[in-house]
């Protein structure tokens, strides 16, 4: 290690917290009220309750049957359903393309989309119901309805039947999340032109599918339907593929995804769409600036997400959003209003579930008197294509821009015994280290199980590990994690197996 860090040094005792919360609850209904039960909000509520604060969480999300559900975007129309469909479609694709390599034949595999969707819905149902159980276990009061700040630290809640109640808290945590961005050139009709929510619920595989935006969501949803048989064209306005990823990783990923049949077009800016005869005509300019058109059966608009603050009554608390609609917060994630905090997608930064959850823990613990903090520069990023793309920390280019001299170790999965046994040898791990201190500045993975492999790198970087620390750590054989070990050895030019 180049050093050690302890980020949670001052823990308040439980009894102190209990005394504090009992005192404060003389005036307010709750110590903490959380608005929104996505991964930021439900975690804020559970952690606050664990710390002895009397906590309520208000959620207005209704499922397609009109039932109030917890879990927000992530569980209902985001991380979880997309991964369920990615897994199902991966099995189907593997069966068609890779099972024969293992000596397994399965002639004419069939897909039952309604069963695939039912499986996805069951997974979502089990997990959202799980939060109900967690709320009960932790004594979080669940309030079904729409929350509106009503001035001071009170909140007006409108229930599904229209009835209203006003409740108050010592502290309010806003975790109202985000919604898909609409673009005027491709307005969603929620039938032929859909956003990510619609793309998770197609009832048949479209023959021709267009996707606007080659970000994580566009690539994942394009992969799902491409694996199931759709001809997929992805139109991306930017000239660079995955501009924030390591350049070599992005180039390898682009080649691999194109090889899987995704027609990814860069510098392709969509200028108009029209819907006729159950088809969508998508007009765009290509990289030469020439006008082009494609005709598709479905079009997914995946051009990003925007903060959701509609009907939240921010004005009643004197909170103004910034020019992009995010709620500005200080280092404690406090808004401009005393006692009102905000976490998750609604405050901007990486729009990732784990980012919101960690912010939530930090705010809850700080309200309880602890000194918790989180390190935004050690944020894991994952794109769940196959293989997966995952990284933490700086790319080589970013490190150089910040004045670091870099050493880079790289190891291809083609040289990994375990990857060979899997029959999945695409990609590599790249480790970026500071040439002077050997501190690891970034780890970039394109390959099988990259999301899981990344955990080692994230933890090591939290502890300010050097590449030597990775190199001196024994990795089990044969595992994919040996590729991490070898990449670390490669920082000093002493890779063994490549
Ligand atoms: P949300 O999850 O949006 O939750 C906010 C909640 O607040 C909602 O339930 C909403 O109903 C509620 N709410 C809002 N206003 C009110 C109000 N006035 N009263 C009561 N309730 C209110 N992230 C990852 O990290 N990994 C992934 O693999 C991943 N995949 C994704 C795939 C897709 C298709 C999508 C769309 C997103 C994905 N994300 C992923 C992003 C992730 O879902 C978000 O970053 C995360 O859900 C943000 O959490 P949040 O709690 O801030 O907001
Ligand atoms: P993300 O925000 O990571 O989900 O990515 C959304 C992507 O959509 C970005 O890479 C944008 O460049 C891309 N995008 C936005 N508008 C358009 C457009 N009109 N045509 C094509 N791509 C777009």
User: Relative to the alpha carbon of 60, which ligand is closest?
Assistant: 1
Overall average pLDDT of the 24-53 stretch: 92
The confidence score (pLDDT) of residue 107 equals: 87
* Cβ of 183 below 6 Å from ligand 2: yes
For residue 268, the domain's CATH number is 3.50.50.60
**Residue 91 domain-assigned (yes or no):** no
Residue among 59, 68, 74, 306 to mutate when testing ligand 1 (max atoms within 8 A of CB): 74
| Same domain membership, residue 343 and residue 282 | no
**Residue 298 domain-assigned (yes or no):** yes
**Is pLDDT at 20 greater than 80 in this prediction?**
no
Could you read off the pLDDT of 87-112 as tens digits, one per residue?
A: 999 999 999 999 999 999 988 899 99
| Same domain membership, residue 467 and residue 428 | yes
| Same domain membership, residue 137 and residue 13 | yes
Of 303, 324, 342, the residue that ends a domain is 303
Domain residue limits at 345: 4-73+119-180+306-367
The confidence score (pLDDT) of residue 267 equals: 98
| Same domain membership, residue 159 and residue 227 | no
User: Relative to the alpha carbon of 178, which ligand is closest?
Assistant: 1
**Residue 80 domain-assigned (yes or no):** no
CA–CA gap between residue 251 and residue 248 (Å, rounded): 5
Could you read off the pLDDT of 346-376 as tens digits, one per residue?
A: 999 999 999 999 999 999 999 999 999 999 9
Task: Give nearest CA residue, ligand 1 atom 6.
Answer: 36
Of 272, 303, 334, the residue that ends a domain is 303
Could you read off the pLDDT of 132-146 as tens digits, one per residue?
A: 999 999 999 999 999
| Same domain membership, residue 16 and residue 58 | yes
CA of 387 to the centre of ligand 2 (A): 22
CA of 305 to the centre of ligand 1 (A): 10
| Same domain membership, residue 146 and residue 17 | yes
| Same domain membership, residue 201 and residue 315 | no
Catalytic residue among 7, 98, 375, 477: 477
**Is pLDDT at 18 greater than 80 in this prediction?**
no
Q: What percent of the chain has pLDDT over 90?
A: 94
| Same domain membership, residue 169 and residue 57 | yes
| Same domain membership, residue 235 and residue 299 | yes
**Is pLDDT at 304 greater than 80 in this prediction?**
yes
Please give the tally of structural domains in the chain.
3
The confidence score (pLDDT) of residue 27 equals: 80
- Joined together, the tokens standing for residue 496 give 């063994």
**Residue 463 domain-assigned (yes or no):** yes
CA of 55 to the centre of ligand 1 (A): 20
**Residue 403 domain-assigned (yes or no):** yes
Q: Is 91 among the residues known to form the active site?
A: no
| Same domain membership, residue 123 and residue 8 | yes
| Same domain membership, residue 247 and residue 198 | yes
**Residue 26 domain-assigned (yes or no):** yes
For residue 459, the domain's CATH number is 3.30.390.30
**Is pLDDT at 82 greater than 90 in this prediction?**
yes
* Cβ of 273 below 6 Å from ligand 1: no
**Is pLDDT at 479 greater than 80 in this prediction?**
yes
Cβ neighbors of 297 (< 8 A, separation 6 or more) are 192, 206, 207, 208, 209, 278, 279, 280
Rounded to the nearest integer, the mean pLDDT of the chain is 95
* Cβ of 194 below 6 Å from ligand 1: no
Could you read off the pLDDT of 163-198 as tens digits, one per residue?
A: 999 999 999 999 999 999 999 999 999 999 999 999
The confidence score (pLDDT) of residue 22 equals: 47
| Same domain membership, residue 37 and residue 126 | yes
Q: What percent of the chain has pLDDT over 70?
A: 95
**Residue 95 domain-assigned (yes or no):** no
CA of 39 to the centre of ligand 1 (A): 7
The confidence score (pLDDT) of residue 3 equals: 35
**Residue 105 domain-assigned (yes or no):** no
* Cβ of 199 below 6 Å from ligand 1: no
User: pTM of the full predicted structure?
Assistant: 0.94
Of 288, 303, 318, the residue that ends a domain is 303
Could you read off the pLDDT of 323-354 as tens digits, one per residue?
A: 999 999 999 999 999 999 999 999 999 999 99
pLDDT band at 6 (very low <50, low <70, confident <90, very high): very low
């Amino acid at each position: 290690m180049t050093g050690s860090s302890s980020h949670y040094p001052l823990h308040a005792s439980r009894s102190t917290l209990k005394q504090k919360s009992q005192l404060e609850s003389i005036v307010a209904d709750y110590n903490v009220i959380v608005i929104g039960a996505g991964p930021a909000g439900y975690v804020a509520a559970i952690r606050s309750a664990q710390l002895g604060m009397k906590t309520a969480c208000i959620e207005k999300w209704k499922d397609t049957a009109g039932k109030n559900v917890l879990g927000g975007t992530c569980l209902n129309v985001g991380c979880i359903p997309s991964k369920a469909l990615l897994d199902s479609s991966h099995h189907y694709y593997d069966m068609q393309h890779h099972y024969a390599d293992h000596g397994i034949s399965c002639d004419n595999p069939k897909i039952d989309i309604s069963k695939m969707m039912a499986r996805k819905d069951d997974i979502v149902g089990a997990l959202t119901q799980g939060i109900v159980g967690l709320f009960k276990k932790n004594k979080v009061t669940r309030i079904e309805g729409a929350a509106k700040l009503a001035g001071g630290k009170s909140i007006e809640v409108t229930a599904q039947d229209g009835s209203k109640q006003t409740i108050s808290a010592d502290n309010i945590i806003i975790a109202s999340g985000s919604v898909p961005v609409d673009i005027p050139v491709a307005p969603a009709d929620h039938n032929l032109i859909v956003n990510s929510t619609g793309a998770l619920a197609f009832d048949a595989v479209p023959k021709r599918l267009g996707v606007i935006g080659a970000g994580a969501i566009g690539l994942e949803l394009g992969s799902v339907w491409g694996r199931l048989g759709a001809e997929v064209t992805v139109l991306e306005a930017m000239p660079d593929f995955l501009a924030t990823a390591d350049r070599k990783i992005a180039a390898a990923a682009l080649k691999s995804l194109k090889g899987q049949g995704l027609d990814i077009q860069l510098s392709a800016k969509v200028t108009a769409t029209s819907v006729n005869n159950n088809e969508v005509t998508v007009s765009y300019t290509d990289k030469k600036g020439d006008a082009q058109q494609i005709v598709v059966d479905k079009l997914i608009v995946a051009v990003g997400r925007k903060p959701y603050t509609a009907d939240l009554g921010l004005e009643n608390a004197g909170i103004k959003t910034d020019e992009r609609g995010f709620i500005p917060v200080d280092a404690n994630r406090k808004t401009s209003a005393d006692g009102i905090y905000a976490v998750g997608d609604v405050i901007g930064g990486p729009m990732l579930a784990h980012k919101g959850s960690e912010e939530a823990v930090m705010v809850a613990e700080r309200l309880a008197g602890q000194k918790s903090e989180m390190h935004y520069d050690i944020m894991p990023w994952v794109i769940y294509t196959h293989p997966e793309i995952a990284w933490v920390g700086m790319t080589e280019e970013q490190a150089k821009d910040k004045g670091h001299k870099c050493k880079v170790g790289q190891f291809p999965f083609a040289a990994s015994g375990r990857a060979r046994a899997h029959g999945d040898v695409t990609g590599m791990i790249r480790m970026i280290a500071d040439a002077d201190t050997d501190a690891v500045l970034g780890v970039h993975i394109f390959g099988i199980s990259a999301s899981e492999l990344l955990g080692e790198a994230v933890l090591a970087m939290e502890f300010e590990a050097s590449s030597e620390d990775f190199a001196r750590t024994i990795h089990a054989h044969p595992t994919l994690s040996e590729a991490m070990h070898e990449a670390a050895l490669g920082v000093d030019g002493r890779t063994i197996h490549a």
